[in-house]
Structure 1
Amino acid sequence: MLIFIEPLSKIFIDGKAYDGEKVRDKLFGGFCECGGLMFQKIWANVDGHNYLISECEKCWKNEAMEFNYISLIDRSSIKVVDRARINTFVREFLTENELESIKNKVRGKDYNYNAFSRAKKKLEDVGLDYKEIAYLI
């Protein structure tokens, strides 16, 4: 399942996070099942496939459209991780001790170096940087 990490403008596919390019303008991104217009949020390129994340202006549903270089391959609903849910998402990879060590490190407090090192490695393995998520957790 594809997950859109909204505050970081990243998509998460098969256990790996990829950078997306945020769409600054209000560009047409398709039609929603509810009949509303969808607007583009981000584009991401993953292994030669382009992913467009769009949001409906009417029902706020988010969808991913996967394109190869020529045509649409797949269109599906996605899970969105917003700022309020980022803690829950990160806890899927990190223990409470590791999460606390990141918080303490960025606040300049004493932290458990071993836990921080493990957390940093785990986040790097999935394509995230502790500095990116530190201000969100």
Structure 2
Amino acid sequence: MMVMILIEHLTKMQVNGNFIPGEKVREQIFGGFCTCGGIMFQKLWFNVDGDSILVSECEKCWRNEAMVFNRDELISRDEVRVVDRRDFKDVILQILTEKEYDAIQAKISNRKYNSSILSNAKKKLNKVGLSIEEVGSYI
């Protein structure tokens, strides 16, 4: 089972510690049935290590689920934690220190910041597949 956290605004999902970009599904396409009995619609597709991950959302209970495929074979179905603006800081603070987070906030607000702390934040974010610009656009 993979740990998956979806940052919807960024169209990125954290899979086992790394953030990967996804592709939005523009049309309402059937994505399976939810455990509540509702219909799920395809929301996003991701590619990870040769596998495809489909994230679908239930039209009834709004639950998000990931189906992992290896070519045409379904490997697993896992619930996805969707992170909104309120919870985003908690996710980022698992990667950055409070000072690094504050440096990003200061930079996007055109306030003074410590450039070496911001540089450390940039390195840490790049390592997991995020950029300061992406994080800054969401905080």
TM-score in same-fold range (> 0.5): yes
The residue aligned with 2:35 is: 33
SS of alignment partner, residue 138 of structure 2 = coil
Structure 1 length-normalised TM = 0.95
Q: Please, which runs of 5 or more residues in structure 1 have no aligned partner?
A: none
> Over residues 13-49 of structure 1, what are the superposed CA-to-partner deviations in whole Å (9 max), with x where a residue is unaligned?
1111100001111111100011000011100011110
Instruction: Return the alpha-carbon distance in structure 1 between the equivalents of residues 6 and 93 of structure 2.
Output: 16
Structure 2 length-normalised TM = 0.94
Structure 2 residue 65 is matched with structure 1 residue 50: no
The residue aligned with 1:18 is: 20
Q: Aligned AA for 1:20?
A: G
The residue aligned with 2:64 is: 62
The residue aligned with 1:91 is: 93
The residue aligned with 1:6 is: 8
Instruction: Return the alpha-carbon distance in structure 1 between the equivalents of residues 26 and 72 of structure 2.
Output: 24
> Over residues 65-113 of structure 1, what are the superposed CA-to-partner deviations in whole Å (9 max), with x where a residue is unaligned?
0001121111111211122211111111111111111111122221111
Q: Please, which runs of 5 or more residues in structure 2 have no aligned partner?
A: none
Residues 39, 55 of structure 1: 8 Å contact kept? yes
Instruction: Return the alpha-carbon distance in structure 2 between the equivalents of residues 76 and 96 of structure 1.
Output: 31
Residues 4, 78 of structure 1: 8 Å contact kept? yes
The residue aligned with 1:114 is: 116
Q: Aligned AA for 1:38?
A: M
Instruction: Return the alpha-carbon distance in structure 1 between the equivalents of residues 26 and 91 of structure 2.
Output: 26
Matching of residues 68-87 of structure 1 within 5 Å: 68-87=70-89
The residue aligned with 1:133 is: 135
Residues 10, 18 of structure 1: 8 Å contact kept? yes
Query: What is the Cα-based RMSD across aligned positions, in Å?
Result: 1.0
